[in-house]
Structure 1
Amino acid sequence: MRLSESMRGWRWWQGSAGVFRAGVGVLLLGLSLAQSVPPQGACPTAVAQQSLTQPKYEDTEEQDAGAGFMAALVQSFLHTVQPNPFPEDLILKLYHDSQKVQFNQELLKEILVYQVGFLVCVAIGVLYIVLMPIVGLFLACCRCCGNCGGKMYQKQTSSINCRRRTLYWSAFVTTIIIFAGNICMFRSNEALNVSVDQSTVELNKTIDNVRTFLTSVPQQIDYVVNVSYKTVQEVTENLDDIGLQLGTKIQERFTGTLDPALRSVRLLHQVTQDTSVQLKTLNSSLVELQSSVDDLQANTTAVKNKISQTLSNSDCIGCDTLKPELEKLTLDISITVPSLSEFQSAVDEVIKTNLESKIKEVEYYFNSIPQKVTDETKEVVQSSKQQLSEIETQISKVTNDIPLTALTDVNRTLNQVQGDISRVTPVIDKAEHIRWGVCVALCCLVLLVVACNLLGLFLGPVGLTPKSDPRERSCTANCAGTFLMMGAGFSFLFSWLFMIAVLLLFLLGGNVYTLLCKPWSDGKLLQFIDTQELIPRLDIGQKLGLESNITISDIYSDCEKNQPLWSTLHLYELVNLGDLLNVSKYTEEIQQHFENTDITLSTFTFLTTDVKNQLSSFSAKAKNVDFTSVTQQMNNISSINLNTTADKLDRLAATQTNNAIRGELQNEAMNLRRIQINIETNIFPQVEKLNSTTESLRSIAENINGTVGEVLSNVGAAQDFLDTNTTQIVKTESREFLDCQLSYFIAYADWANLTITQQVGRCGPVAEAVDSGEIILCSHIVESLNAFWFSLGWCMIFFIPSIIFSIKLAKYYRKMKYSDVYDNHIIMNHIPRAQMRIT
């Protein structure tokens, strides 16, 4: 069964030999083109470098401090007060002549002209502060003298109720306006307190974010450099493993041609072994069968002689007719296989060539390629590793050329600032607590005036009877008038003090907004700071060693867009990144070393000419073996049938009258049957075995020609391939291996260039820190402060109509000492008309 499967496999190989030859031709064509078009996927892709992980920053978004609702109103007022643009020239003059300001009349005049809006407001405030207590004092004295409404007498007229209602609603509206301003005072005071409390925390967060940014920049640079170390290490490991990597690639190029040749030689070797075994089996079967046939011939001849003697007896009746039958009992059988000995000798010669050793030689040659590559490239690998160390040194210069020490100095300054903040924070908290308490007291005093007015406005209508006598007004109505007078009195008493607070806070908060917050918001402040006349040594470009100057406005603008430090600080003027990351000046030398290295693989001969001739002779002699004659001889043996002659002897014995002759004939017929049984039991199985061996050997011999032809074809193609393409394959694969290693550096250089120029040091946190400072100081603290003085001033302005309306309305509710009755019913007397009488 196994032999028949093997034969089917051989027939398949024989049928596909043409297809295989065509495949070899295509492979050779592809190899000829490999010099210009490297195979896809020949170089394993290096691990893709990840983008830099940006540091995590704390969220510095401020909560709404609560004073933003009045920002638009206050800013509109301040813009009206100070419509002039940011005074850059004036501040520069003050900066340079700060010691002589009091003697420079023109400068003082310029300052006063610029601050004319504030001066007008200050003048109004001073007038308020001066007049309010004076008016209050005169009013009090006048009323004590019974004037200015001090006399407890109210004249009753027809319009008294209308006047009372008008004064009532005027006082009510004025009080509500004051109350609204008082609510704004409470809210802005609380907003200012929250802003101050949060400012320290938010400022620390901002400083922490800037410190995180400054710390991350060197770490990011180190990461980029460390990746170069990993790349160098990876290429170094690949060079150390060049035997396995490059040798394996060369082996893969040989595999397509060597494998078919080796498979065909292995198969031929197996077929030769099987043929030798079959020949041995055939020879032993022939010897065994010939021995059995010789015994058969001897026995048959003995029986034939006895039958001949019996038939020659004169008493035998009709025996002459059976004598021709004796001629058929001659079994002269000699089994021979023509040309079998020659075929045997050819097989023996092929076995002597030891095809298995040839296969092992080819396998050893194939498996020794990696070690051969390692041995041949020791020097170039060593020189390449030296070049790699120089590349590593060159790339490490990036950290030396970039001025990272400046970042360290800034970080140290931030630490000092944060320490100062920590020391000052308790003092600020204590001062803020006092400020908050004072402002709450101010708010409560204003609320006291509002409360007196509201109580008077509430109790007056409740306790007043319009038609009652002014002397008989109820106690409730009298209390209403008293509360209204108290509100007016408190207003006179505290308003001028409140106006002092308004004036001071107005000068502070208003100027901070117009001179700091407003230009900070629209970018003019940074542009002003960039003025060299203000800070002569603030030349960032010069400090960094740049040819061009960098302004703070430029830095802020770039950081606001979250640009990297490479473009923000013009680091390309300091670091020639293209030269640092230009590995071609080293790789060219490495390429030259590889080009000069000759990796030679020793020549190898698959099959010598003698072996090929022996195989050809083996194939030819396999065709000369005449297996047909052997089959015919087997058929002759299989056709032997002695029972026929024995039956004729039995019939002849039946016709005999002589019992002795009859017995002899019957015994001889019985002997023939015994011989026939011996043939059937011994000879025929041997014949079948010999026939099976012959058929197997015939199948092998019929396919040997195709097998040997395929071996010679595949081996010839492989030999031609090795002789023609080995050198070129080694050069091509060496070049691809080198290009693969250098591609790692090209990929790294591109990644490093992109990372340093676009990802390292994205300075968005710096712009956010500036914006956070503007939010903390201006959007919350200054806005809350301005909202407070604006609300307080609002209340003070409306104190004036409140005083007037309260004093006038109080007389309509207080109990009078003198009565005045107005009678609305007038009696009309009829006056008779004069008449003229005509006579």
Structure 2
Amino acid sequence: MACERGTLMAFLLLTTFVLLVGMVCAFVTNQRTHEQTGPSVQAVPETLLSLQSLVSDIPEELQTVADQFSLPQNQVLEDLDGVGERLGNLIHSQLKSKVYLLLASVHSLGQALQVSMDHLRALNATTKELQEGQQHLEPAVRDHRERLLALLQDPQCQGNCTGTLSQVHALELGADFSQVPHLDDALYRLKDVPETNFSSMVQEENSTFNNLPLLIGLQTANAVKDLKKAVSGQPEGVRMLATGFPDLKATSRWSQTLGELEECSRPYLKDVQRYETYRWIVGCVLCSMVLLVVVCNLLGLSLGTWGLSAREDPSHSEAKGEAGARFLMLSVGFSFLFAGPLILLVFATFLVGGNVQTLVCQSWERGELYEFVDTPGNLPPSMNLSHLLGLKKNISVLVAYQQCREGAALWKVLQLNDSYDLEKHLDISQYATKMQQELKGFNVEIKDLDLLSPEARQDLEALQSSGIEKINYHDFFVQIQKPVVKTDMQQLSQDLERLAQAQGNSMLGQQLQEAAQGLRNLYHEKVVPQQNLIAKLNLNARALESAAPNLQLETTALLGNITVLRGELPVFINHIMENASRCFMTRELGYFSQYVAWVREEVTQRIATCQPLSGALDNGHVILCDMMADPWNAFWFCLGWCTFFLIPSIIFAVKTSKYFRPIRKRLSSTSSEETQLFHIPRVTSLKL
């Protein structure tokens, strides 16, 4: 009997402990469910707002991308500032070697022309002076010769009269400058040459050439203005990038729908929180009921055990044992009373939580929910994703979700390349063509750069046709090599003086002395100036002889080079302008090409990434399953656990309670027990 009693008490204690553990778990899960409901409910509008922000930001992001067209645009406009002067510097650097060389040749030739003209005029003037001096010298020499011949042939002449007489016979002019070429024709052709100050002209042309960048900048100012006007416009496709997006209307509609859904969800979410509070209270009450059963079992076991250990006379009535038995029967009554509500609550929570976990959470986690949505016929056509977004192709929700989790953009997920021609919007060929047409207006004419003024050209052409290189300078040198007078007049004067001293006739001696003095005076007065003029004539003639041929060649070459350069200059400048324009267009269009590539990458890979959408779905799974369904299922499981163990608790409590009653009462009930092997005591038979 003691063994049976101990076994029943042990089982009842174990059952009570299991009920206690289940009750504690039920309390904990009930509280956790209540605590998780608040953040879960608050996360719903936040998720909806994040989705609304994702949807509503698409037009703004597209417009921002379109507005970034101003970056390459401003760069091109900045490059256009001063482009005329840069072109001028380029042309200047390409031409300066040729132009500076020609200007140096012009300057050198101008100086040579001036020197040659000075020599030519000096040669002509000297020739005329020599001819004039020769006309005055010839009669004087002739008079002196005749007079000396008369004196020396006088019979009274003593001394070396015969030797001196031979010198007097040679007293005549040697050089005849009337035989030199005439320079009047050449001087007539070179009249007033040079009319131009070649040094000033070269400085002026050099200044004009160095100011070429400024000149070209002024010439291209209007063309640059027109080109800036063309660049300032925005291509139609880029401008319509955002408004032409295929899902723009659907985006606005979805954004509005999400906003309305967020507003409408708040009252329902408040109701959810209120009903959750009611559920939490009911759960706490039912857990308290289970706790009451556990307390009654523990009190019954404690008092019953205390009563058994203190009993001395088995027939003695013990209040402690009786109280323990009554507490056990009280727990039995509470178990019967609370079993119904517990079973109903467990069934209700199991029905909701189990179905949510099985039908929603597990299929959601395995992706079966997305496959169900993708299967045609499971949802009404009006709820089809492609229909809602206005797309031409059907979109798989499962594939879209997987792509969104990988961070793909809506462009890839929704396959917008079939319904939106992005390349058409990014086509800037017409924009580039307009720029190229305006760039063709960069025409440059260098009219002010003559390199050679008309007057200077006339001077050089006059020199070219003057024929100074054809003058027979040898005739000048022939006469220059001849003496002015064939006889050495100084030597003859000295011989006459010695001869005068040797004369016995004083009158003849006096006459010879006077003749010698007159001859000496003639030499100093007229022969010496003639000799000086001959030296000057020699200098000028030799200078012209050496300079004239080279001067003609240089003049011909210079005029030819200038003519060629003047003819090639427009072609050369146009070639430079074409190359510069081509390079400029290549560089500037490179900016726009970079922009187009960037826009293509942004639109197709970065803009409107749908990762927040997959994140929202994952958050929904976490909210519904992890934060609500899991604690909910744990709660009903623990509560069901407690409900299930109420049955053995009732059985063990009834059987154990009879061992805690006094023996008298157990004997009084023997007769009735003999007719009935076992029956469960009713609560109504207890006398509390």
- Match for residue 228 of structure 1 among 69, 74, 89: 69
Residue 243 of structure 2 aligns to a residue whose secondary structure is helix
DSSP 3-state at the match of 1:434 = helix
Alpha-carbon shift at residue 589 of structure 1 (Å): 5.5
Residue of structure 2 equivalent to 1:418: 262
Report matched runs for 1:54-203 at 5 Å: 157=1, 160=2, 162-203=3-44
SS of 1:361's equivalent in the other structure is helix
Amino acid at match of 2:68: V
Aligned to 1:559: 404
1:394 aligns with 2:237: yes
Q: Aligned to 1:490, which of 316, 325, 334?
A: 334
Compared CA separation, residues 248 and 482, structure 1 to 2 (3 A): same
| CA pair 488-606 structure 1, distance change in 2 beyond 3 A | same
Q: Secondary structure at the match of 2:380?
A: coil
TM-score by length of 1: 0.51
1:582 aligned residue? 427
Partner of 2:350: 506
Q: Which moves more between the two structures, 768-777 or 248-257?
A: 248-257
TM-score by length of 2: 0.62
The aligned counterpart of 1:469 is: 313
The answer to whether structure 1 residue 814 and structure 2 residue 674 are counterparts is no
Tell me what 1:429 maps to: 273
* C-alpha contact (below 8 Å) 2:88/2:214 kept by paired residues: no
- In the alignment, residue 553 of structure 1 is paired with which amino acid? L
Paired residues of 1:229 and 1:392 also in contact (CA < 8 A):
no
Residue type of the partner of 1:169?
A
SS of the aligned residue for 2:349 comes to helix
Query: Take 2:60 and 2:85, find their aligned partners in 1: how far apart are those partners?
Result: 40
Could you tell me which residue of structure 1 aligns to residue 606 of structure 2?
759
Q: What is the CA–CA distance in structure 1 between the aligned matches of 2:460 and 2:41, rounded to whole Å? A: 97
Query: What one-letter code is carried by the residue in structure 1 that aligns with 2:299?
Result: L
Q: CA deviation at 1:265?
A: 9.2
Residues 185-234 of structure 1, C-alpha deviations (whole Å, 9 max, x = no match): 11121122123222221001101100110111010111111122554455
Structure 1 residue aligned with 2:369, among 515, 518, 525? 525
Pairing partner for 1:443 from 279, 283, 287? 287
Map of 2:648 onto structure 1: 801
- C-alpha separation in 2, matches of 1:595 and 1:819: 124
**How far did 1:459 drift?**
3.9
Say if 1:547 and 1:410 are closer, same or farther in 2 by CA, change over 3 A.
closer
Taking only the aligned residue pairs, the percentage that are identical comes to 28
**Residue 220 (structure 2) aligns with:** 373
Equivalent in 633, 647, 653 of residue 786 of structure 1: 633
Q: Aligned partners of 1:475 and 1:259: how far apart in 2?
A: 133
| 2:301 counterpart of 1:457 | yes
Determine if contact 1:250/1:730 at 8 Å carries over to the other structure: no
RMSD: 4.2
Instruction: Write the distance in 1 (CA, Å) between the matches of 2:666 and 2:439.
Output: 128
Q: CA deviation at 1:802?
A: 1.5
Partners of 2:60 and 2:666 lie apart in 1 by 94
Specify the SS of the correspondent of 1:563. Answer: coil
| Deviation readout 1:754-811 (Å, 9 max, x if unpaired) | 1111111101111122222222222222222222221111111111112222222233
Q: Which residue of 2 aligns with 1:726?
A: 573
Contact kept, 8 Å, 1:177 with 1:798, in 2: the verdict is yes
Task: For residue 355 of structure 1, report the CA deviation from its aligned partner.
Answer: 5.3
Cα separation, 2, equivalents of 1:514 and 1:261: 93
Question: 2:90 matched to 1:247?
Answer: no
Partner SS state of residue 216, structure 1: helix
- Gap regions ≥5 residues in structure 1: 1-156, 270-348, 614-711, 821-839
Q: In structure 1, how many angstroms separate the alpha carbons of the residues matched to 2:220 and 2:615? A: 59
Q: Is the 8 A contact 1:373 1:599 kept in 2?
A: yes
Structure-to-structure mapping, 1:684-763, within 5 angstroms: 723=569, 725-763=572-610
Q: What's the offset of the Cα at 1:563?
A: 1.4
> Shift in Å at residue 518 of structure 1?
2.1
Q: CA shift at 1:753, angstroms?
A: 0.8
Cα separation, partners in 2 of 1:261 and 1:461, compared to 1, 3 Å = farther
Shift of 1:252: 4.3
CA displacement at 1:592 relative to structure 2 = 5.5
Q: How far apart, in 1, do the equivalents of 2:7 and 2:19 lie?
A: 18
Maintained 8 Å contact 1:532/1:538 = no
- Give distance in 2, aligned partners of 1:264 and 1:461: 134
Superposition deviation, residue 606 in structure 1? 5.1
Map 1:652-671 to 2 at 5 A: none
Moved more, 538-547 or 180-189: 538-547
Q: Distance in 2 between matches of 1:200 and 1:726?
A: 77
Distance 2:273 2:74 in 1: 57
Mapping of residues 292-331 of structure 1, within 5 Å: none
**Residue of structure 2 equivalent to 1:700:** none
What is the rounded CA distance, in whole Å, between the counterparts of 1:489 and 1:353 in structure 2? 133
CA contact (8 A) 1:195 1:781 kept: yes
Could you report, residue by residue, the CA deviation over 1:13-68 in whole angstroms, capped at 9, with x for unpaired residues?
xxxxxxxxxxxxxxxxxxxxxxxxxxxxxxxxxxxxxxxxxxxxxxxxxxxxxxxx
2-side partners of 1:553 and 1:500: how far apart? 38
Residue 449 of structure 1, CA deviation? 0.8
The CA deviation at 1:396 is 2.1
Opposite residue 636 of structure 2, the aligned amino acid is W
Of 204, 209, 216, the residue aligned with 2:45 is: 204
Contact kept in structure 2, 1:192 and 1:780, CA below 8 Å: yes
CA distance 1:461–1:544, change in 2 (3 Å): closer
C-alpha distance in structure 2 between counterparts of 1:596 and 1:369, whole Å: 13
The answer for the alignment partner of 1:84 in structure 2 is none
Aligned partner of residue 747 in structure 1, secondary structure: helix
Q: SS where residue 471 of structure 1 aligns?
A: coil
**Amino acid aligned to 2:401:** Y
Cα deviation digits, residues 130-157 of structure 1 (max 9, x gap): xxxxxxxxxxxxxxxxxxxxxxxxxxx5
**Offset of 1:256 from its aligned partner?**
7.5
> Quick one: distance in 2 between partners of 1:382 and 1:490?
98
Question: What CA distance in whole angstroms lies between the structure 1 residues aligned with 2:275 and 2:289?
Answer: 21
1:439 corresponds to which letter in structure 2? G
Say whether the 8 Å CA contact 1:530–1:552 is kept in structure 2.
yes
Q: Does 1:216 align with 2:84?
A: no
> d(CA) in 2 for partners of 1:387 and 1:184?
74
1:769 counterpart = 2:616: yes
Residues 258-337 of structure 1: matches in 2 within 5 Å? Answer: 258=96
Partners of 2:591 and 2:448 in 1: how far apart?
A: 34
Task: Give the drift of 1:487.
Answer: 1.9
Q: Structure 2: how far apart are the matches of 1:398 and 1:767?
A: 26
DSSP-derived class of the 2:238 partner:
helix
> Which residue identity does 2:423 align to in structure 1?
G
Distance 1:554 1:580 in 2: 28
Deviation at 1:505, TM superposition (A): 2.2
Distance 2:321 2:102 in 1: 131
Q: Which has the larger radius of gyration?
A: 2
Change (3 A) 1:543 1:573: farther
Deviation of 1:502 (Å): 1.5
Residue 235 of structure 2 aligns with an amino acid whose one-letter code is E
- Give the unaligned 5+ runs of structure 2: 108-195, 462-556, 668-688
Hey, what's the Cα distance between the residues in 2 that align with 1:491 and 1:259? 116
Mapped contact 2:297–2:328 kept (Cα < 8 A): yes
